[in-house]
Structure 1
Amino acid sequence: MKTSIISRISLGAMSTVLAVAGAAPAFAQTQDKPTELGGVTVTDTAIDDQEAETSYKVSRSIGATRTDTALVDVPQSVTVVPVKQIADQAANSIGDAIRYVPGVFSSQGEGNRETLSFRGNSTTGDFFVDGVRDDIQTYRDLYNIDRLEVFKGPNAMIFGRGGVGGLINRVTKVADSRQHIAGRLEAGSFDHYRGQIDIGAPASEVLSLRLTGVYQNSGSYRDGVDYERWGLNPTATLALGPDTTVSVGYEHFEDNRVADRGVSSYLGQPLRTRRGQFFGDPGNSPTWTDTDAGTLFIEHRFSETVSIRNRTRYAEYDKFYRNVFAGAVNTTT
C-alpha cells in the first residue's frame, strides 16, 4: 500500500508540472507590451548646506579643489570634522578635534605651539584658515570654526609649499542670512572655566551680521601651569544683487599660558615621578600670542556653473615664549 500511494503521488506531481509547463507559453502571450519610461535629468543636489551643523557627515568642500565639489569626486584623502562633532566632543583645540581622524595625531610642540603628524610626517606650519596659510606657531581655538578639513598627502597643487604628509584647513563661521543663537558653558577640574557664544541674524534684506566669542581660564594638574585665552570674531555679509556676495570679518584673539614641556625621560622611559611635578621653572616659562586678522571675501556667479571668488586676508601676530626646562638626568644621585 505504501508503494502504491507513493506512485500515485509521483504521478500526480508530474501531471501538475506538465500542466504548468504547458500553460506557461499561453500566459506569456497574454501579457501587454512593457511600458517605456522617459529619461530623467538631475539638475540639483540633495546636499544640505547646513549639514555640518546637524550631522557628522559632510558631503562637499570648496577647499579641496577651490571649487564646490562633492568629496566623492575629490582625488585625495579628505576627512572633515564638522562643528556638530566638535561640539559633541567638547573639543576646544585642534589636537582634541582630530583625535578620531585616521592617520593624524597631535604631538607636544614644546608646550608653546601645535604640532601635528600626518602619516608619520611631523609639522608645525601646515595650517590654513579658509584656504589661506596660517602657519604662526601658536595654539588655535575652535570657537569660530564651522568645520575642520584634514587633507592627507601632498597638496602643492592647491595650497603651495608644505609638508608631504598633509595639512589642516579651518573653515570659519560667517554671517549667512540665517539666525544663530548658541552658547556653551564649561566648568571642570583644576579650575577650568570656559564660555563661548555664537549670535547672528539678518539685519536687512541685503545685510546679515554674526558674532562669535570665547573666554577661557584654566589650571592644570601640573604644578604652576595655567592658561587664559579670549577672542572675538564679528563678520558681516552684503548681498549686492542675486549673484554677488561680499563678506568681511575681523578677529582678535589672545592666548597666554605657561609652557609645559612634559616629563623628562631616562633610559628611554618617562621618569617615575608624582603626576603634578613640573620639570623646569614655570614662573620663567611664559608663552603668549596676540592675533589680529582681517578678511575680505568676494564672490560673483556668472551662471550656475561659472563663478569667481577672491579671499584677501591680512593678519598680524605678536608672539613670545621662554622655556626653562630640565636638561640631562643626574645619574650620580
Structure 2
Amino acid sequence: MDIPVWVEWSVLGALVVLLAFDVWVIGRRPHEPSTRESTMGVIGYVALALIFGLGILWLAGGRYAGEFYAGWLTEYSLSVDNLFVFLVIMSRFKVPRVFQQKVLLIGIVLALVLRGIFIAAGAAAIERFIWVFFLFGAFLLYTAWNLAFHHEEEEEFKENVLIRWSRRVLPISKDFGDGKLRTHENGKRIWTPMVVVLIAIGTTDLLFAFDSIPAIFGLTREPFLIFTANVFALMGLRQLYFLLGGLLDRLVYLSIGLSFILAFIGVKLILEALHENSLPFINGGHEIEWVPEVPIWLSLVVIIGTLAVTTLASLWKSRRTAPQKELSSTTAS
C-alpha cells in the first residue's frame, strides 16, 4: 500500500490525541453516560471510520479501502459479541455503573497495546512464513465451531489463574471507594476491587485478540489498516456498551452469524496459503495456481450480508418470543 509515512504517523497521532482526550474527560468526571451521549459517541466513531475509509480510497485505491472496511466491520462485530462477557464481568464484580465507563476505557487502552504487539508479531511471521495462514485458518474454523455450538457455555465467566492469584495475594478493600486503584483503609494503602476487574477485562480481551487478529489478517495484510481497524472498533465500544445494554440479549443469532464470518475468513486464509504455498509436502513446495482467490468485494458482501441477516433474524425472533414470555410470567403470577 503506497501511503506516505507522514500520513500514517499523522493518523496515528490524531487517534492517540482523541484517546487521550477520552481518558482526560472520564478521569475528570466519572459518570454513567446518557443515551444521547452514548448515541452521539457511537455515531461519531462510526462516522470517523467511514471517513477514514474514504481517505484510504482516495490515497491508495478501492482495494485497500475495501480491506479496511471489511476488517473494521469484522472487528466491530466481534467487539459487540465481547460485550456479553463484559456485562457478565461487571455484574460478577458488582461494579457501580458510574465507574463502568472508566473500567472499559482503561481496558480499551490495554487492548490496543496488546493488539499492537500481536499485529506486529503476526505481520513479521506472515512476511517470512506464509504457511502461518494454515494455522490461522484452522484456528478460525475451530473458533467458529465453538462459537456456533458452545457459545452459551463460554458466556459464563470463569476466573482465570491471574484473577485468583490477585485475590489471594493483594490486600483488597471491600468496596470501590472513589473508583481509584488504591485507597486508604485503617491507615494502610491497599488496592480496591477495581484492580481485579481490570485484570479480568484485560485478560479476557487478550483471549479475544486470539480470534480477532487472525480474522483480520485474512482480510488484509497491511499492518496500518489492521491496527486502525482495531482502533476504530474498540474506541466506539465504550459508548456501544451503554447504548445497547439490555438489547444485547435480543441479538440471539449474533454468535451464529459471527461463526459463519469466522469460518468464511478461515477458508479464505487456507485458500491464500495454498495459492502461495511453500511447504514441501504440499504440491512439492510449489504454488497451487488453480486455487481460487477470494476478492475483497466478496468478503465485504459476505460480512455485511451476514450481519444484516443475523440482526434482522434476531430482532424478529425476539419480537415473537416477547409476548410469549409476558404471557408465561402473567400465568405464573
Please indicate, yes or no, whether the TM-score normalized by the shorter chain is above 0.5. no
TM-score (norm 1): 0.23
Q: Give the helix-richer structure, 1 or 2.
A: 2
Q: Larger C-alpha radius of gyration, 1 or 2?
A: 1
Structure with more relative contact order (C-alpha pairs < 8 Å, separation 6 or more)? 2
TM-score (norm 2): 0.23
